[in-house]
Amino acid sequence: MFKRIGTIVALLLTGCTAVYADGMLPYFGGEIGYDTGKWKIRDVTGAKVTPKSNGALAGLFAGLSWTLAPKFIVNTEIFGNYSSTGTSNQTINITGGGTTQASMRMRYSYGATLMPGFKFNEAAKIYLRAGVIRSLFNLHQTTPPVGAGSNLSQNNVGGGQFGVGIQGDVGNAWGVRAEYDYMTYNSFTAFGNTISPRDNQIKVGVLYNFY
């Protein structure tokens, strides 16, 4: 996954000469954060549990920024994050009767977003985030369904990402930012269970502008 993100970042930054000609500004950075949410699991009998999830994340991002008017900017950005977010064991029902223990883990996320913003001055701005995200979710079930061959189900799931952040520039090249994001994912099926994740992230990052 990170190899794919790295390739996209390299292509983005290789186009700097053309970007400068259009008055756009490329940037690159890293971020860390805290992830928490609720991942609803509806088991094979229709019974529901909604365990809380929590963990840390770290990743890279790259984007293009340009000014639409003296006070208004818009960024396009791609990102990739590694996550330790997961749930505790939950008791769920299984096909044929009986129960088992199940837990979930998010492994990584990647996506692309549009980020319109407002500049208070040359050093401070506020922005919104709206985009698409894909994350790898693992479901570990102590007793897998008959014929599954493994007690781990891996699922690459898409969803939407929405957030708000503030950024402060340190000189011309460097910037720091803090952000809150909300993610809502498509429901998916794993071992006959229907899972609907919702997530919240609080992140801080450092970026470098390629003037």
**8-43 confidence digits (pLDDT tens):** 445 444 444 344 435 688 999 999 999 999 999 999
What is the count of structural domains for the chain? 1
Q: What is the pLDDT of residue 122?
A: 82
Confidence label for 103 from pLDDT (cuts 50, 70 and 90): very high
Confidence of residue 140 (pLDDT cuts 50, 70, 90): very high
Task: Say what the pLDDT of residue 44 is.
Answer: 92
Q: Give the model confidence (pLDDT) of 162-181 as tens digits.
A: 999 999 988 879 999 999 99
- Domain span at residue 154 reads 2-209
| pLDDT tops 60 at residue 1 | no
Closest to 180 (Cα-Cα) out of 196, 198, 199, 197: 199
Strands 90-93 and 52-69: unpaired
Q: What CATH number is attached to the domain comprising 158? A: 2.40.160.20
For residue 171, the model assigns a pLDDT of 81
**Rounded to the nearest 10 degrees, how much is the dihedral formed by the CA atoms of 81, 140, 39, 201?**
-20
Contact residues for 46 (Cβ-Cβ < 8 A; gap 6+): none
Buried b vs exposed e over 133-149: b needs ≥16 C-beta within 10 Å?
A: bbbbbebbbeebbeeee
Q: Give the bridge partners for 157, in sequence order.
A: 135
Q: What local confidence, expressed as pLDDT, does residue 172 receive?
A: 79
